Amino acid sequence: MKTCRDMAEVRAEIDRVDRLIVPLLLERLGYIAQAGHIKSDRGAVRDEWRIEDVVNKAKATAEGLGGNSAYIEDIYRHLIDWSIAHEFVVWDKANDNSATD
């Protein structure tokens, strides 16, 4: 992380980081959608063990980098909740049998 001299530089660096984060978040969302197509059971969409596994890995990564793990945990819990909701939408669309009833 570079040291900024003024708010314009801080904002420019935040914008730069956001341009790096957004493509990764969209890539992650693509994998969430794939999971929604792969899982054969709607009950498998929300997996409490996997949620805790992902959160713990993210926190460990933050701690390894000397970062704020509580900040990362909060972000990841929100990200996971949103991802699960999206996966339910994908699963429901992929498994909509009402058209054949």
53: domain CATH number?
1.20.59.10
Residue 101 inside a domain? The answer is: no
pLDDT tens for each residue of 2-16: 999 999 999 999 999
Q: What sections of 1-101 are H helices per DSSP? A: 7-38, 48-64, 69-94
Residue 55 inside a domain? The answer is: yes
At 96 the pLDDT is: 87
Residue 76 inside a domain? The answer is: yes
Name which of 28, 44, 48 is nearest 95 in CA terms.
44
Between CA 6 and CA 13, with CA 9 as vertex, the angle to 5 degrees is 140
Tens-digit pLDDT string for the chain (101 aa): 899 999 999 999 999 999 999 999 999 999 999 999 999 999 999 999 999 999 999 999 999 999 999 999 999 999 999 999 999 999 999 998 655 44
* Predicted TM-score of the model (pTM): 0.86
- The count of domains in the chain is 1
Residue 57 inside a domain? The answer is: yes
Residue 1 inside a domain? The answer is: no
Helical pair 48-64 and 69-94, crossing angle rounded to 10 deg: 150
Q: Are 35 and 94 in contact (CB under 8 A)?
A: no
Q: Are 21 and 29 in contact (CB under 8 A)?
A: no
Residue 100 inside a domain? The answer is: no
Quickly list DSSP for 51-71.
HHHHHHHHHHHHHHTT--HHH
Residue 2 inside a domain? The answer is: no
Identify the domain containing residue 40 by its residue range: 7-94
Residue 99 inside a domain? The answer is: no
